[in-house]
Every structure is written in C-alpha cells, then in structure tokens.
C-alpha cells in the first residue's frame, strides 16, 4: 500500500470523500488521489517521493510556479508582523490600487474565495438593478453559491432547477440557463424575462467544461444584449484574471464587463477572491451603500503579501505572457500531432488547454459532453504513470506556468504520444 493510499484511507474516515474539494478525489478517473508533499517551480512530489511535472498549479493560482522566491519572501516578511488584524492595512490599499490599475476597474473589494466573489457580485447586481433573475451558462462553473448550483429548468425559458441537494427551488427559480457560444439562447431568455434580469454571468473563456474559447462575436454580443436590456454583464475571471493578460479577459478580448470577479492568481496561492467594477456600482456596497457584504479575513495581510508579490511580477514582466502563449502553442501543436491517430480535439487559450476525446470540434458544452470518458481516463492514468500531474476530469483545464520549460513541454508531448499505442498503457 502506498503512503497516498494509507492517507486516503484515513482521510475518508474523517472528511467527506477524503478531500476538502470534490475534484481532488479523482473519482471520475477511478484511482486514488496522490497526496502531495511539496512543490518547486513546475514540479510537485507526492508523499511516496514520486516527482511530477505539474499541469494543475493548484487549479490556476500558481502562474509563476511553486515556491516563487518573491512570493515566499513577501509571505515570510508579512508573517513576522502578524497573521491578521481585522483592521485596514497598507497592503490592502496597495493591492486595490494595483488590481484597479491592471484591470481598469474603478474599485475592488477583497474576499476569501472565488465563490465569495461571485456570491457578492450577484448580490450587488441584484441590489443595484432591483431585479432578481440571473442568466448563467450550462457547463460554466462559478463556485458553489446556491444561485449558481442550478441547471436548466424544464421550461427552457423559465427558471432553473437545483443542481445540488440543499438548494431551494425558490432560489433556483431565479437562475436562467443559456448555452455558451449561443447568443440567440441569451436573447430569448432576456426577451421572455424582459425587465427582470439583473445580470448575465459568464466565464469569458469557459474552462469548467474543459477549455472552450468564446466564438468570435460572442462576448461582444453579450455586451450588446446586456446594454439593450439594462442588464449587467459579469465576467467571472477567477481563472482568466491576470492569466490571459495583465488585465485578464477584458484586455485579451477588448470587451468590458460591468462587474468582474477574481480569485486564484490574485492570491498567489493564498485564499483570496475579489470583485470589482465601476465606482457607481461599487459604492452601493456596505458600508457606503445598501448591499451588505463582509469578511473576517478579507484583505488578510499575509494573503495580500502573496498576491501583491505575484501581481507585481506579472505587471512588470510582460514577457511572461508571451512565454505562456508560446509554450501553450507548442504544447497544443505537439499534442495534436501526438494524438493524430485517435479522435481528439485540443482546445487552447493562452496557457489554458484541454484535450477532448471526441471526433468533432468542441465549441459548446454539448460537444464537450460528447467526449469519450473512458479514453480520458486512460489519458489521465497514462500521464500520471509517466510523471505528468494533470486534471483528473475531462471537464477541467491544464494550466501552464512560467516555470515550465520547453524541454518539459516536449516531454509532455512525448509522454502523450505513448499512451494510446504502447502496451503498458492500453
Ligand atoms: P473558489 O471558490 O474555488 O476559489 O472559486 C470558485 C470558482 C469560480 N469561478 C470559476 C470560473 C472557477 O473556475 C472557480 C473554481 N475553479 C475550480 C476548478 N475548475 C476550483 C477547483 C476546485 O473546485 O477544487
């Protein structure tokens, strides 16, 4: 029995599924999770001492890699001054000023996770518009706040149904579900619920159905439809924020949202989320305005130190984005060649990639769901066996970081080229 298996056995006795977040349990790929012990740069080591090239990077936060010197040093300095005060600190001002400068928003509020950022942004949108309905997209994930754990209802143009136990039907009823990359589906919902939709929330690049880029005109179309209907546009940039460009998807695609949510990279590996937008909207938030939101550890000085150190490097080193895109393109091209003998699609935006095991191009959630999950399982296990640590679900992304080298990208390609053809992986 490996140490990971021993730990997993113990973990399952005291934690649901043995994990603190479901995807980590590796249930969809039918293996036990490898418990990790440490990371450095683009590598991680499990508790049995096996080394991997890391393609998860904590699900996105570690765009500079594990144990980035500047981040570690900043955290070390902050810790020695105290872990938390529950009072304003200079670091929060520095962080807010930097986020507004990088993203072009007027004001930002720090919270402790992407979920909390989305929950707060939705409340603000409802408070600011006086409307209660929200449009989301099937296959997009925005954290686990009740209003987002909703699937399309029976009547396509009416409110949704709970997608989790514990979500009241009344709450689900106010969430409408459209289809990603399908503007007419949004238009129809806005028309059928005229004057009632507070916001449309979208992952500007869908990454929780696997990576599905926005089709040309999709984001621009959402902007137009929201303007025509007095509906706010919310970009959930928990994944894309500070990853696609310093200004995230707003900069990358040249489309401005009314509210934006952040997480992951903004915390440098520490628990940080944020939401922001125009001054007019953000001044509706307590203590200035009537929309209440609060948090004991919001703006925590240690978390701010980590996030600030990472964002400052991203802001001051634009070549990082060129490197991420170049290596992403190298991996995309190499994987397409390595997998050319089987039905597979490689979707990529910058440093975000997903391999879908299906014949047809994946431009929608339905197309993503046509993937062969048995093939995906072989893919995941074949990579893991060869020392490549990737997402244990077809509907997630691979995340490149600035510490990945060309040689490591080539190694990933070489490993991919063995899985479906070499005996030991069949
Ligand atoms: P958190 O509450 O996990 O910090 O953020 C929720 C969230 C919000 N919006 C988007 C677009 C997200 O991708 C996420 C969380 N991402 C998942 C990975 N797809 C986190 C991994 C996990 O759930 O363990």
Tell me the CA–centroid distance for residue 160 and ligand 1, in Å: 21
User: Of all protein residues, whose CA lies closest to atom 9 belonging to ligand 1?
Assistant: 142
Token digits for 381? 């296990």
Whether this model's pTM surpasses 0.95: yes
Which residues are the active-site residues?
A: 141, 236, 264
User: Of all protein residues, whose CA lies closest to atom 1 belonging to ligand 1?
Assistant: 114
Q: Is 19 in the pocket of ligand 1 (CB under 6 A)?
A: no
Shortest-distance atom of ligand 1 to CA 22: 24
Q: Which of 21, 28, 117, 143 best tests ligand 1's pocket when mutated (most atoms within 8 Å of CB)? A: 143
Shortest-distance atom of ligand 1 to CA 203: 11
Shortest-distance atom of ligand 1 to CA 116: 2
Q: Is 243 in the pocket of ligand 1 (CB under 6 A)?
A: no
Sole residue written with tokens 């029995």: 1
Q: Annotate 60-94 with three-state secondary structure.
A: CCCCCCECCHHHHHHHHHHHCCCCCCCCCCHHHHH
How would you write the pLDDT of the chain (426 residues) with one tens digit per residue? 999 999 999 999 999 999 999 999 999 999 999 999 999 999 999 999 999 999 999 999 999 999 999 999 999 999 999 999 999 999 999 999 999 999 999 999 999 999 999 999 999 999 999 999 999 999 999 999 999 999 887 776 778 899 999 999 999 999 999 999 999 999 999 999 999 999 999 999 999 999 999 999 999 999 999 999 999 999 999 999 999 999 999 999 999 999 999 999 999 999 999 999 999 999 999 999 999 999 999 999 999 999 999 999 999 999 999 999 999 999 999 999 999 989 999 999 999 999 999 999 999 999 999 999 999 999 999 999 999 999 999 999 999 999 999 999 999 999 999 999 887 876
Token digits for 93? 């001002």
Q: Is 108 in the pocket of ligand 1 (CB under 6 A)?
A: no
User: Of all protein residues, whose CA lies closest to atom 7 belonging to ligand 1?
Assistant: 143
The residues pairing with 202 across neighbouring beta strands, listed in sequence order, are 235
Shortest-distance atom of ligand 1 to CA 397: 19
Q: Is 66 in the pocket of ligand 1 (CB under 6 A)?
A: no
d(CA 20, CA 17): 8
């Amino acid at each position: 029995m490996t140490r990971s298996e021993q730990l997993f056995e113990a973990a399952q006795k005291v934690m649901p599924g043995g994990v603190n977040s479901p995807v980590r349990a590796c249930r969809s790929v039918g293996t036990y999770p490898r418990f990790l012990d440490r990371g450095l740069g683009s590598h991680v080591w499990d508790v049995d001492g096996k080394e991997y090239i890391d393609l998860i990077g904590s699900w996105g936060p570690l765009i500079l890699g594990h144990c980035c010197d500047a981040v570690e040093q900043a955290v070390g300095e902050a810790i020695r001054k105290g872990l938390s005060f529950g009072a304003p600190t200079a670091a929060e001002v520095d962080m807010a000023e930097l986020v507004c400068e990088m993203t072009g928003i007027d004001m930002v509020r720090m919270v402790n996770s992407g979920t909390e950022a989305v929950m707060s942004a939705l409340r603000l949108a409802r408070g600011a518009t006086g409307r209660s309905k929200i449009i989301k997209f099937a296959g997009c994930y925005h954290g686990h706040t009740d209003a987002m754990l909703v699937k399309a209802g029976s009547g396509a143009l009416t409110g949704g149904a709970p997608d989790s136990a514990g979500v009241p039907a009344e709450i689900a009823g106010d969430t409408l579900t459209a289809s990603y990359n399908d503007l007419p589906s949004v238009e129809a919902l806005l028309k059928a619920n005229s004057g009632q939709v507070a916001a449309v929330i979208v992952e500007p690049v869908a990454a929780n159905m696997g990576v599905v880029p926005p089709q040309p005109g999709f984001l621009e179309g959402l902007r137009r439809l929201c303007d025509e209907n007095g509906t706010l546009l919310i970009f959930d940039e928990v994944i894309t924020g500070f990853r696609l460009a310093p200004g995230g998807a707003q900069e990358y695609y040249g489309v401005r949202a009314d509210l934006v949510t952040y997480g992951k990279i903004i915390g440098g590996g520490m628990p940080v989320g944020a939401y922001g937008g125009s001054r007019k909207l953000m001044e509706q938030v307590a203590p200035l305005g009537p929309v209440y939101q609060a948090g004991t550890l919001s703006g925590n000085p240690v978390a701010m130190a980590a996030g600030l150190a990472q964002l400052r490097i991203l802001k001051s080193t634009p070549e990082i984005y060129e490197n991420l895109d170049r290596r992403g393109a190298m991996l995309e091209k190499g994987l397409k060649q390595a997998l050319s003998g089987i039905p597979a699609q490689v979707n990529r935006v910058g440093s975000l990639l997903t391999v879908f095991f299906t014949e047809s191009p994946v431009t929608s959630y339905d197309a993503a769901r046509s993937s062969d999950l048995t093939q995906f399982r072989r893919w995941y296990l074949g990579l893991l066996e060869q020392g490549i640590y990737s997402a244990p679900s077809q509907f997630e992304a691979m995340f490149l970081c600035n510490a990945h080298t060309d040689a490591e990208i080539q190694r990933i390609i070489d490993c991919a080229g063995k899985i479906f053809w070499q005996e030991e992986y069949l």
